[in-house]
Structure 1
Amino acid sequence: MLKPYLIALLTAIPGSVTSAQLSHDDTLHQASPESVGLLPAPLHAMQINITSYEKPANYGASSYNEIHPIQPSSAVIVAHNRAIVSRFAHGKASLYASVNGTTLPPSQQEPAHPDTIYDLASLTKLFTTIAALRQLDAGRLALNATVASYLPTFAAQGKQSITILMLLTHTSGFAPDPSPPLYDPVYNSVAERRAAILNQPLADPPGSTFTYSDLNFMTLGLVLESITDTPLDELVAEYTATLGMHDTFFNRGNVEHLAVYSRIAAQEFQIAALGGDLEPVRPQPVRGTVHDENAWALDGVSGHAGLFSTVDDTAILCQMILNNGVYAGVRVLSEHAVDLIFHDFNARFPGDAHGLGFELDQEYTAGPMASPKTASHTGFTGTSIVIDRPSNTFFVLFANRVHPSRNWSSNNIVRKALGYWVAKALGRDVAFP
């Protein structure tokens, strides 16, 4: 059930939903696994298994160090047929006093909670995708239109044929990151950095290859701002606020001590981990300002990174997609737009299946739950979401695996393990990844 203040918020939005419409059974609710046909034992085992990755251990891969946990904390939600069947948090949202793993005194360590706010990193791309799909529904954006038709200066350096679709499917030909990085001192202002995004050269001919690139979504964010005359953070807030996602936000201006600072998970001791003169000078560990340095250089707001959220809020977004664009009686996307999330536009690039914004059929994210109609994405900080259309199931994992250093581990093993236990709860005979 929606909380009273969220009902008040939704009913106050012009053209939105009335109180009577909120009786629709399209919202999330807590329920037992058995009540929606799931096996409870795997979900119980899942919680024990996932939290074990927050302890030092050897997980069978050379990249994992026996003295390092995979991630210091996690928050998880699993839902099936609109029922939240597992919701928990474990570990420490703030644990370390230095990049080398010295822990804080116990009295200063902070536990993670289900409402802990995490830096989403590249999950921001999904929220930018939703903003783009809304403009597609409104007729202001076309997938096969060129980027240059919206931003003429983008056409320089052979980019005149790049389309919006190429940005959304990482087939534009861009290198993974801008060069020089946007936080390089060569740039004197955010305006110069934004201009540099549009002036980036290509690494490959447009449409010739799949290369995951932050530049695609940096560019898409600028397109959306141009066609709407609205800042990207406001475009995202338009629909997240309508959905009652009150803990989802960009930190515009890189404000160092937000009102919700104590609820935000600590990230990396970035300067110590990477060294060099280019790293942004800010309090360490990074906490509350966006971990991604390029997003930080763009004043905290970019199409590729910058959002903060909770698993509870992000669960609403996932269920809206499974509801074919509607949540709590509010239509956010058309059914056609949602279908485009689950359509593979990259069939010519085997192994890199991609709907609009979302990856498809990716075992490293979804484990045994991966399928051609399973949309997912990860974030560098340790976050991931998986939306499985065939089974009407989603699961969200938020973690701060870069605390205290990005060099310690990848938490893909945790993502795959979560997919395994969800599959087992659905009664599938699958092997542990």
Structure 2
Amino acid sequence: MDNQAPLAAQANTLAKQGQWQQASDKLALLIAQITGHTVQTIQINRDQYSLNSLNGFTQLDTDEALFFKYHHEEGEEKSIEEYYRAELLRNYGFPVDLPLYACKEPGRQLLLYRKRHTERFADVCRRWEAHPDATTLPKLIKAQQQLDQLTLTKARNSLHRVSVQQVKQEAIHQLFYHRLVDDHHPLGLGGRVAKFYLDKTIKLGQQSLDWSQFSRYRWQINGIHYPFTVAELFSQSAQRLAPQSLADHGAIVAHGDAHNANVWFEDEQTLTLFDPAFAGENIPALLAEIKATFHNIFAHPYWLYEPDIAQEHYQVEVRIDHPTQQIVVQHNWQLTDLRQAFLDSKINNYWRPLIAQLKAQQSLPEHYQQVIQLALFCCPTLVLDLTANGYGQHNQQSSALGWAIAVALGNGGQGPGQWISQLL
């Protein structure tokens, strides 16, 4: 570990190594520096949603109880000047939790909120799926519907034209385009794609393929043939999701990463956003709700965040047909009643009316469906390593299932991505 690195970056490294006490000590020092108060206690959450972040609770010598969150993305030191934009969202009328303390320096970018006695909506939904309850289901659906409707209203009211330079400055591209490119690899095969997948062995079920085979083989999933390979999907993503390609499609004010692990469930009826690390006022309209759409709906239940449970929960069979260069997957994953209701809400209360408005204002590109499909494909494949090679958290069953879901969404038109072709 680099002992000269900023404290939060050191803590993040220590936590990934399982050195929780040492990580807590580093965070305690940083929190004391930011708040001017001594830390009495600190507890780091060890949850499945903390993929690029540390979060937890601390109590100061003033008896003030706080929730803290540190978030890190590659390249942030060069490109993010104002990392957290809670004030922007609040000014535009979003229900957003404002931090009591904030440090925006790279490697120290820590937010401290008043500790709430409410849960993140992701945790509430996760508990429902473990123990479905028909009496609470309508309440969860209603809360999501209300947030989707509010998000649409804010999108409509803030829709505007922007320059390429304005779009390029938005932090949301770190979730997509900047994870696909670098100076050393072909377009779409750089960044996290190179780090996670290039020259690796991809294990799917009981089968294994090297990257050169895996990336150029086509897919048959649950009997449906999908035309684009993984390599083609990454290449197309780098083209369609490039900031300059999105500049003419209309921009909005948005949170940008409003999946339900970044949402409080207030008084068991309303949703409040927090951690707006990627919020902005010039976010491409087609990109703003992608993360929420994928991670609230298609990442559940279990397979992305809890692969060990997914291995017990789903049957996934993989066959490699080398003569036809085809990966054949059969699985029994499907959306739960809760996630299907969330998808219905996202379609009817956000996507369909937004697409209609973009078309009416002549801001809808002909390839809008492909933009949505490719951005959804990027969510699971770029958020963490999907391979089951011992470096990531996935096993061979969850890896096969994850790639199958990602490829189906990226190709669209059929299977889990069929709804995208029905937005107009």
- Return the TM-score normalized by structure 1: 0.24
Write 1 or 2 for the structure with the bigger share of helix.
2
What TM-score do you get using the length of structure 2 for normalisation?
A: 0.25
Higher RCO, 1 vs 2 (CA within 8 Å, ≥6 residues apart) = 1
